[in-house]
Each structure stands twice: as C-alpha cells, then as structure tokens.
Structure 1
Amino acid sequence: MKTLLRPALSLFVLLSVITGLAYPLLVTGIAKTTFPVEAGGSLIVKDGKTIGSRLIGQNFSDPRYFWGRPSATTPMPYNASASGGSNLGPLNPALMDVVKGRIDTLRAADPGNTLPIPADLVTASASGLDPHIGIAAAAYQAGRIARVRGIELAVVEGLVAQYTESRQWGIFGEPRVNVLALNLALDGLR
C-alpha cells in the first residue's frame, strides 16, 4: 500500500503545483505583458478615479445620458457577480409586463419621439451586463439628449458616430456604441 500511495501523492502535489500555480502565473504574466488593459479589466479611469469598465454596463436613468440595455441581474443592475439572463421566454407574461414598463419609461422621457423603440432598449442581454447599444438605440435617444442638454442634434449624432465600434474582427456582431464611453464624451463637451 505504501508503495502505491507515495507515487500517487507525489504526482498529485506535482500536478497541483503545475496546474494550480505555475500555469496560471504564466498565463497571467503573458496576458499582462501582451494585453495590459484587457487583462486589467478594461477599466475606464478619469482624473485618477476608476469610473467603470468597457466590458460591463452601468445604470443610467438621467435623461441627459444615453441609457444602456436593461440589466437582468438582481437585486442590483449590472452586478457582475449575478451575471445571467432573466430566463423569461418570449410568451411569458412577466416578460411582456417588464418590456411594457420599459416602453412606458422611454415614452415618458421623450414623449415627442415617434421612432420605433429598438429591442435592445427594452430587453436584457443574455449576460445582463451588456455595455453596448445598437446604432438604432443610440439614434432613438439622440433627440432627447440634445433637447435636455440644450445642444444641437448634429453634435450628439457626431459623438454617436465617433464612438461607434465596428463588428468584432470585421465579421461578428453588429456595429455598436459603448454607453459609458459615449456618456463620458457627452460630459466632456463644453
């Protein structure tokens, strides 16, 4: 028994050190050297203070700002430790009620807007943390933001165009706008 236990324990300790310590340290070191911003969480820092991440949405409800895609995380919106979808199917009455409430909120914030409301403004993403909205969702909100901030619509539309990100690697997904980056640019206007 002793002759079997010693090699098994030695192999267990060796593999634990390799897979639990050496490999993670090597991969982390390569990531921090090659992609330092991404490995650090793609944080957005302004005046020495971390404001958020380019990878996780934030809750904006002030009409002066672009609103992101709704979060499915509870009890706090955009809570990365509670990432996950709502699991409500398209025919679920609870989903219908939530979407109707979001539509009412959007209409109340901008009653003169007759554009169709894009789906990404009323439905959560699969993770519940999406930091992006589509071009149509940004265009839908541009008039409200220009009116509330007292700036020309062309200025807001120019910022949307400037902060539009193309498809991932040119083929995956759709063009999109990072809401936090766009709202920071709005705050930076004189």
Structure 2
Amino acid sequence: MLTDLKTALRPALVLTALFALLLGLAYPALITGVAQILFPHQANGSLIREGDKVIGSELLGQKFTGDTFFHGRPSAAGADGYDAAASAGSNLGPTSQALVDRVKADIDANRTSPGQSVPTDLVTASASGLDPHISPEAALSQVDRVAAARGLKRGTVESLVRRHIQTSLLGLIGEDRVNVLALNRALDALPRATALDRR
C-alpha cells in the first residue's frame, strides 16, 4: 500500500516541480529577456525622461491645472486623483449628488461659451482614474483657452493637437486619442510667443 502511494506520488511531485521551474521561472525569464531586447521602452513602463529624471509614463495620466495646459480626464484615484497606488473609479452612481455636483463643476470649468457642449471625457473619470488619453474632440475644445493663455496663434496650437492624434490600430482596434502628457510636453517645447505670434 505504501509502495503504491509512493509510486503514485512520485510522478505528481516531479511534474509539479518541473512545471514550477518551467512556467514559474524559465518561461517568465525568457519572455522578460525577449521583451528587454525587442521592446525595452515598453517593457520598462514606457517611461518619459528629461535627462536622468523620470517625469511620467505614456501609460499613466497626470493632473494638469491652469489655462496654459491641456487637461486630461477627471480622476478619482486617491485623494487628489491620478494616484497609481490607488487606481480606481469613484463608484458613485448616477443618483449620487456628489457625482452630479462634480460633473456640473467640470462642465462649467470646460465650457468656454454659453450653450457650448463639452466633450464627455472631460467630465467623466475613467475606471482606473489613470487614463492618459483624451479624445481629439476634447483636446480641440481646449485649443482656444491654451492659445490665449500662452499668447500663441490658435492655428499653431490646433496644428500641434492634430499632430498628436494617435489613430486606432488598422482603423478597427481602439479609438483615436491624444496623449495629454505628450501634448503638453510638445506645447512646452514650442518657442515662446512674440508680439508677432499673437496677431
């Protein structure tokens, strides 16, 4: 009886150890190595650097305030939003007065003229609270504010937005979008406005 148990257990234990080594160590190490060789930027978090300093990631939204920057989607992740350690939505339902008040405030903040519609993604948070993208419509709706605040021609800022539109994969997967951090970095890289630029 004991011999039969040992005979039955031995292959199970050997296979468990073998697959733990293969699937728990060898396979992840192989995939990590291949990713580091072929896609090092993506494998390391798509980090954005200025010199030696990491200033963000292409995959994580950041909070931008003030009229001189394009704003991303609202975030309920953490106390102040955009907290990667507290990624989540607000879980507030459509009857929540706190949600209604927040959305109304965001609509008022993003409306530049009476009766103007505000793109939905500027007043609704994503499920993660860390979405780095907004729709092209949301970015274009902010052009007048940003151009005026920076003293730039509207056409210059609009052209910058249009150059930063990322299209859907093969026209089928995903939606057209604009990465807010990349757009704001490109905006900061523009030459300072002169009196001639403002005409």
Same-fold call, TM > 0.5? yes
Q: Retained in 2: the 8 A contact 1:71–1:129? A: yes
Amino acid at match of 2:168: R
**Is residue 171 of structure 2 the alignment partner of residue 167 of structure 1?**
no
| Correspondence for 1:103 | 107
Q: Retained in 2: the 8 A contact 1:115–1:140? A: no
| Correspondence for 2:68 | 64
For residues 8-157 of structure 1, the aligned pairs below 5 Å read 8-107=12-111, 110=112, 112=113, 115-157=116-158
Q: Percent identity?
A: 51
163 and 113 in structure 1: CA distance in 2 versus 1, 3 angstrom threshold: farther
Distance 1:94 1:19 in 2: 47
What TM-score, normalized by structure 2, do the two folds share?
0.84
Amino acid at match of 1:135: P
Amino acid at match of 1:33: I
Distance 2:143 2:116 in 1: 11
Distance 1:19 1:76 in 2: 40
* Partner deviation per Cα, 1:158-177 (whole Å, 9 max, x = no partner): 10011111113321232111
Q: C-alpha displacement at 1:20, in angstroms?
A: 1.4
What TM-score, normalized by structure 1, do the two folds share?
0.88
* Structural RMSD (CA): 2.0
Q: C-alpha displacement at 1:141, in angstroms?
A: 0.8
More relative contact order, 1 or 2 (CA 8 Å, 6+ apart) = 1
Q: Which moved more, 1:59-68 or 1:47-56?
A: 47-56
* Partner deviation per Cα, 1:95-154 (whole Å, 9 max, x = no partner): 2122112223335xx5x5753111100101122111111111111111010111111111
156 and 114 in structure 1: CA distance in 2 versus 1, 3 angstrom threshold: farther
Q: Where does structure 2 lack aligned partners over 5 or more consecutive residues?
A: 192-199
Q: What SS is found at the alignment partner of 1:44?
A: strand
Distance 1:79 1:25 in 2: 30
